Structure 1
Amino acid sequence: MKKLLQCTLIGAVMISGTACKTPFNQLPDFVQGDVVSNRYDGITNDLLTGGLGASGLASTTAPVFDDALNPTPQELRTLAIYNNYRALVDTVPGGGYGDFFGPQVDSGGEGLIPGEEYLAYMTVEGSDVPVTVMVQVPDSFDPRQACMITAPSSGSRGIYGAIGTAGEWGLKKGCAVVYTDKGTGTGSHNLATNAAQRIDGTLSRADEPVQFRADLDDEARGDFDAAWPDRFAYKHAHSRVNPEADWGRHVLQSIEFGYYILNEKFGQETGNSRKVMKLKPNNTLVIASSVSNGGGASVRAAELDESGLIDGVAVSEPNVNPQVDTSFTIRQGDGEPLAGHSRSLLDYTTALAVYQGCANIAPEIRDEAPLNVLNDPSIAENICNSLANKGLVTGATTDERATEALRILNTELGIQPEQNLLAPVHFALSVAQGISATYANAYGKAGVEDRVCEISFAATGEGGAVTQLSDAREAALFSESNGIPPSAGVNLVYDAAEGQPTNLAVSASPSSSQQDYGLDALLCLRGLAVGADVVTGAPLTGLAADMADRIAGGIEEVRASGNLQGKPTVFVTGRADAILPINHTSRPYFGLNQRVEGSASNLRYYEILNAHHLDVLNGFPGLPERYVPLHHYYFQALDLVWANLADKQALPPSQVVRTVPRGDGAPPLSEANLTPISPDPEAGDRIVFSDDQVQIPD
């Protein structure tokens, strides 16, 4: 269905219906301050690779600053593109880079793309927290065949967080790409020095627009620093606004900003230096896209799109928290139906934070899980002991306790067993632990001074003690941070650890006097997620009860409705996703959408076997033999939605895609490994909603 309000843009001139007149182009009122623009020639620098080219992105040697303490905006940008691209895409030879995806594929040479880039701050109604928005317009953009792709950042990354995913596909297609950091991003505030990042990543201590500063006056900031020195506040965790509740609005606003930029470039000239809008929703193809959190943001935008800004949706592993609908179940093969689906992100993530450290040494995965060697087995045993002493796992031996922890995750929490071999490396990387701390703060709209569950953010040194972040690391935060500590030298600190505030990963809990990864703090986060004391089952009281109520309200604010308003939509998700378990994200969203839209639904769900959340891990020992890149299927999803919108090609039915792992020795990835999404899948591969059940083939 093409756009209904053909002359209407939400933030521009509001004229609708058949009586509309072509409006003059004007900057949307949600844009704050100046729009910063840069031209990239595609030779010395470019939109996609930061001037590095395909070979530079693949190099294990990162670009360096001429002056480590005073990097230029362009140096920060290049390093940010390098790190963000490589954080999501496997660039190791043989894994598909340069053959199935990468800047050079279908482009030739090094894949540099010339064009213009525009950056600005924006806000949403009811908040003054800056949200970064960016538009890239490649020179190949043709206003006669106008297209736009949304690229909200994955995870909590900054403005370049989707450069290698939606950015690459859109720029190579000749589309304008509109990005937003979704109110998360790399904005950090050094509470000791008052330093924060400008929009270009350079540091400032002055009273000027920056990506984020905590809501503390100088006296309060000084008092906090005296009590808890050298701490950092982060935009996602400490902005007090639950940015996820507005992710969909951020994406819609980024599209509006995209129209403004395009019409400034291509609009009809008038005699008074104003531009008449030529590019509008009725003549521009718009696909909402991205991966992980960015994918979830685009899904939410499609649900909220009352003005017809979005034509279709193509997302990978979207972080969606579907509204809980107990009227349907999920069943894989002949397994038991799952009624307890649609748990919130904070629910299942705090469970992983609490139990996975012990489950890592369960006999069935201890020696089989790739990169489990990154976890300290003595700390894992301490976690098992602490859980047993609190009555949270049973068993007389460590093996029995670890097996019980794994059972709780797989059986009681509904987390796929296919993720078991990947979960240990995610624990070693503190994925669940960092997400739990950040999202508890965000959902509860906490300030940095609240130190939820007595966790703060700081650099740590010998023995895990808090120390100052080096000047060089701080100067590079814009380019190196993923927005959720631990990242780029800033760690999670357990302020109540036995002895002194300590890096959470090596901290001893007061209740156990053992190094058990600060289990007391993780249990506190779990208690806030479920609204009760995890050990006793008793209701929370006092400040904890208040915070739990605030968190519950924040979670309700981010629940997805399942109503995509008939838009052609493709989800691709790896069955082995160990960050966003599919029984609580893509699978129940598919079921909810069928409930809400029924026969009017245009959602297709493709579940990819032998694929998971972070393709970058496929370049490490033990993984390339087992897993294929989900990234390839994400690009196929975009191709399918494009073909549906531009050429009226039908979307293939929902299905399980049976890929073929590379196997022993991990020979180079080939087409034989990447089973295509079938236009007419076998009955035994089809995903269907029938008899109040999402039915997934084994």
Structure 2
Amino acid sequence: MPVSKGNAEMFQQPRATGHREHDDLLTGGLGLAGLRSMLPPTFADVERPTPAELRRRALWSNWRGIADLAPGGGYGTLYGSVANVPGREFSALATLAGAQQPHRVLLQLPDGFDARNRCVVVAASSGSRGIYGAIAVAGAWGLPRGCAVVYTDKGAGSDYYDLDARQGVMADGTLGGAEAALAFEPSPTAGSGVAYKHAHSQDNPEADWGRHVKQAADFALSTLNEQLPAQAPFTFANTRVIAVGISNGGGAVLRAAELDGGWLDAVVAGEPSVLAEGAGARSLYDYGTEAALLMPCALPQLGIPETPGLALKCAALAARGVLVGETHDAQQKDALAKLHAAGWSDASLRSGAISVAFDLWRAVAVGYASAYGRYSHDAHPCGYRYAALNPDSSPRAATAAERAAWVADASGIPPGAGVGIIDPQPMADMGLGGLQCLRGLWTGQGTDAQRVRKGVDETRAAPPRAGLPVVVIHGTDDGLVPPVFSSAPYVSMAKAAGRDVRYWQVRNAQHFDAFLGLPHMAAAYLPLLPYVYEALDRVEAYLDGKGALPADAVIATVPRMGKPLAAENLAMPH
């Protein structure tokens, strides 16, 4: 199934593949049972997996990273779909004007595409995930109803580069060396360890997330025109385009909403990481570096058990002047008071504990400092780098099997998939020197701090285009992207500008549906994806003239408390 020359001129390395019967678009033939499996799909040759094997494993890991698929969680029964959807995929590497590195775009065209009711769903991956990072968000809603779904990794993704082996990822997911055209190749390529696109592209991709989404939509229409010539032309005037994303993907579609041209018909953004003007607005880098330093010491004051060695860490922060207090209890109280004063709620702090447990705050701070400052892999201002790790956390070269699986297994930002963060300070420092350096890139006045803050400022959002329907959904207990710093200021800004933005605030919902498989999380929290799907349903009905846009709502959910999820738990607005 060749892609025409015209499309190849617009996008590099276009590929087309068919996916039917036991290899469908939505789950790669795994179905709900296969996605629930604790073991990933295997490779016949672990050092040389095929593109098809990598795709199936990437689908497995991205579904499990986003959705609550656990029995009793309601996925596939109460909400959501894992239907077997046959069709074709078309992918390419697309480059924005002025960018050094490409972003991946991928169109899923179901065999049941309804050319009479032309529908394209455009989505950006959440977090730093690869091209299938929004499959559980956009694909699960759009593909079963006959929409084409197009994705972008928005300049991030899991195209890691092994600096020791001088190998990166090609368009089909397999590895290539210096002679190959790669999805990401750092500059310089010399060095040791691992480089990855979000941090080391030197493009500050977040500043262009809206343009990435628009270019993906352009790719969708171009491909539809080539593949369905009898129904062509497909244009923004005759094809409905709905943008949807969660987390960073939610921020990306809100940035796309700013763009002129009438190309978008509606936007749904779940738990968006977005920086707006207005009271309370804070950047992820600002509150993330704050959380990395203070949150571990504050959490025991909320009844969360202490981590080993916490007393030493809090005392060291007090000795460095970060905390005050002569006792461990006083230091904890000071940490909590500082977070409260900065706008953190107890609910966000409690759910933020899981980000402490998984080292997410440090991961975000280290990687985003490089991205915002446009630093190369060997020039981190605080001395961090990345590598495969020995059991004692010392760096080593990656094995062939490890790097072959990165594109499928990695979340796009280490630590994970065998790649860890190399701290610039000795272990006796407990990592505090590095964390203080990262915080200083926000609070300090040096050249590097100015460089990072300039990069953050480039990501600031503007109001959406006038007349564009926008629905924002956010969990009130979100501990990774607290709504008080992101959605609430954005919605206020947009409404002050006279824009049509609707806002659902979901009680007892935090940031990670996938963590609801943990019993203590499932007992306390509800998934957010049902509300994203419902908002898409409401938007579709509105565009069809069959219903109104959802009204603003604070949704009073009812926690499951260990029972299977039921409709009354969700308390979906009527």
Settle same-fold status: TM greater than 0.5.
yes
Structure 2 matches for 1:145-224, cutoff 5 A?
145-216=117-188, 221=190
In structure 2, distance between residues paired with 1:452 and 1:460: 22
Deviation at 1:629, TM superposition (A): 0.7
Gap change, CA 1:141 and 1:675, over 3 Å in 2: same
Instruction: Determine whether 1:635 maps to 2:533.
Output: yes
Residue 491 of structure 2 aligns with an amino acid whose one-letter code is: F
Residue 313 of structure 2 aligns with an amino acid whose one-letter code is: I
Alignment partner for residue 63 of structure 1, among 30, 41, 44?
A: 41
SS of residue matched to 1:476: helix
SS of residue matched to 1:87: helix
Residue 329 of structure 2 aligns with an amino acid whose one-letter code is: D
Question: Match of 2:318?
Answer: 388
In structure 2, distance between residues paired with 1:444 and 1:565: 32
Question: Match of 2:303?
Answer: 365
Aligned residues of 1:195 and 1:203 also touching (Cα < 8 A): yes
Instruction: Determine whether 1:355 maps to 2:275.
Output: no
Aligned residues of 1:564 and 1:593 also touching (Cα < 8 A): no
In structure 2, distance between residues paired with 1:438 and 1:565: 34
Structure 2 unaligned blocks of 5 or more: none
Alignment partner for residue 11 of structure 2, among 26, 31, 46?
A: 31
Residue 612 of structure 1 aligns with an amino acid whose one-letter code is: Q
In structure 2, distance between residues paired with 1:401 and 1:489: 35
In structure 1, distance between residues paired with 2:536 and 2:243: 10
Deviation at 1:190, TM superposition (A): 1.0
Aligned residues of 1:315 and 1:637 also touching (Cα < 8 A): no
Question: Match of 1:141?
Answer: 113
Bigger CA radius of gyration = 1
Aligned residues of 1:25 and 1:277 also touching (Cα < 8 A): no
Question: Match of 1:432?
Answer: 361
Q: Percent identity?
A: 39
In structure 2, distance between residues paired with 1:162 and 1:577: 19
In structure 1, distance between residues paired with 2:124 and 2:296: 31
SS of residue matched to 2:131: coil
Question: Match of 2:470?
Answer: 569
Aligned residues of 1:416 and 1:582 also touching (Cα < 8 A): no
Gap change, CA 1:363 and 1:549, over 3 Å in 2: closer
Question: Match of 1:690?
Answer: none
Gap change, CA 1:572 and 1:488, over 3 Å in 2: same
SS of residue matched to 2:568: coil
Deviation at 1:29, TM superposition (A): 5.5
Deviation at 1:651, TM superposition (A): 1.3
Structure 2 matches for 1:265-344, cutoff 5 A?
265-268=227-230, 277-304=232-259, 306-322=260-276, 324-325=277-278, 339=279, 341-344=280-283
SS of residue matched to 2:479: coil
- Aligned-residue RMSD, C-alpha: 1.7
In structure 2, distance between residues paired with 1:449 and 1:60: 36
Could you give the per-residue CA deviations for residues 150-186 of structure 1, whole angstroms, max 9, x where no partner exists?
1211100000100111111111121000101100001
SS of residue matched to 2:570: coil
Aligned residues of 2:100 and 2:203 also touching (Cα < 8 A): no
Question: Match of 2:403?
Answer: 474
SS of residue matched to 1:154: coil
Alignment partner for residue 566 of structure 2, among 663, 670, 683?
A: 670
Residue 363 of structure 1 aligns with an amino acid whose one-letter code is: Q
Aligned residues of 1:53 and 1:103 also touching (Cα < 8 A): no
Aligned residues of 2:7 and 2:14 also touching (Cα < 8 A): no
Instruction: Determine whether 1:618 maps to 2:519.
Output: no
SS of residue matched to 2:225: helix
Structure 2 matches for 1:458-607, cutoff 5 A?
458-495=387-424, 497-498=425-426, 507-509=427-429, 516=430, 518-530=431-443, 532=444, 540=445, 545-597=446-498, 601-607=499-505
In structure 1, distance between residues paired with 2:212 and 2:406: 23
Question: Match of 1:683?
Answer: none
In structure 2, distance between residues paired with 1:564 and 1:60: 44
Aligned residues of 2:104 and 2:183 also touching (Cα < 8 A): yes
Aligned residues of 1:395 and 1:401 also touching (Cα < 8 A): yes
Could you give the per-residue CA deviations for residues 243-293 of structure 1, whole angstroms, max 9, x where no partner exists?
01111011101111100111112224xxxxxxx942212221110111111
In structure 1, distance between residues paired with 2:547 and 2:236: 21
In structure 2, distance between residues paired with 1:492 and 1:479: 20
Deviation at 1:470, TM superposition (A): 2.8
Deviation at 1:28, TM superposition (A): 8.1
Could you give the per-residue CA deviations for residues 544-583 of structure 1, whole angstroms, max 9, x where no partner exists?
x222111111111110012332211111100111111111
Could you give the per-residue CA deviations for residues 45-70 of structure 1, whole angstroms, max 9, x where no partner exists?
01110111121112222211111111
In structure 2, distance between residues paired with 1:179 and 1:631: 18
Tell me whether 285-294 or 464-473 shows the greater mean CA deviation.
464-473
Aligned residues of 1:143 and 1:279 also touching (Cα < 8 A): no
SS of residue matched to 1:351: helix
Gap change, CA 1:384 and 1:30, over 3 Å in 2: farther
Could you give the per-residue CA deviations for residues 329-385 of structure 1, whole angstroms, max 9, x where no partner exists?
xxxxxxxxxx4x11111101110111112223x232224xxxx7xxx321x222211
Instruction: Determine whether 1:238 maps to 2:200.
Output: yes
Aligned residues of 2:246 and 2:271 also touching (Cα < 8 A): yes
Question: Match of 1:400?
Answer: 330
In structure 2, distance between residues paired with 1:79 and 1:469: 20
Residue 326 of structure 2 aligns with an amino acid whose one-letter code is: A
Question: Match of 1:649?
Answer: 547
Gap change, CA 1:30 and 1:244, over 3 Å in 2: farther
TM-score (norm 2): 0.97
Aligned residues of 1:343 and 1:584 also touching (Cα < 8 A): yes
Question: Match of 1:512?
Answer: none
In structure 1, distance between residues paired with 2:138 and 2:312: 42
Gap change, CA 1:121 and 1:346, over 3 Å in 2: same
In structure 1, distance between residues paired with 2:343 and 2:295: 14
SS of residue matched to 1:436: helix
Aligned residues of 1:659 and 1:673 also touching (Cα < 8 A): yes
Deviation at 1:299, TM superposition (A): 1.0
TM-score (norm 1): 0.80
SS of residue matched to 1:145: coil
Structure 1 unaligned blocks of 5 or more: 1-23, 105-110, 269-275, 326-338, 499-506, 510-515, 533-539, 679-698
SS of residue matched to 1:587: helix
In structure 2, distance between residues paired with 1:132 and 1:651: 32
In structure 2, distance between residues paired with 1:25 and 1:647: 39
In structure 1, distance between residues paired with 2:251 and 2:186: 26
Deviation at 1:487, TM superposition (A): 1.5
In structure 2, distance between residues paired with 1:475 and 1:529: 36
Deviation at 1:407, TM superposition (A): 2.1
Deviation at 1:26, TM superposition (A): 4.6
Deviation at 1:442, TM superposition (A): 0.6
Gap change, CA 1:643 and 1:75, over 3 Å in 2: same
Residue 540 of structure 2 aligns with an amino acid whose one-letter code is: W
Aligned residues of 1:267 and 1:279 also touching (Cα < 8 A): no
In structure 2, distance between residues paired with 1:136 and 1:35: 13
Alignment partner for residue 55 of structure 2, among 77, 81, 89?
A: 77
Question: Match of 1:658?
Answer: 556
Aligned residues of 2:100 and 2:201 also touching (Cα < 8 A): no
Residue 11 of structure 2 aligns with an amino acid whose one-letter code is: V
Deviation at 1:463, TM superposition (A): 2.5
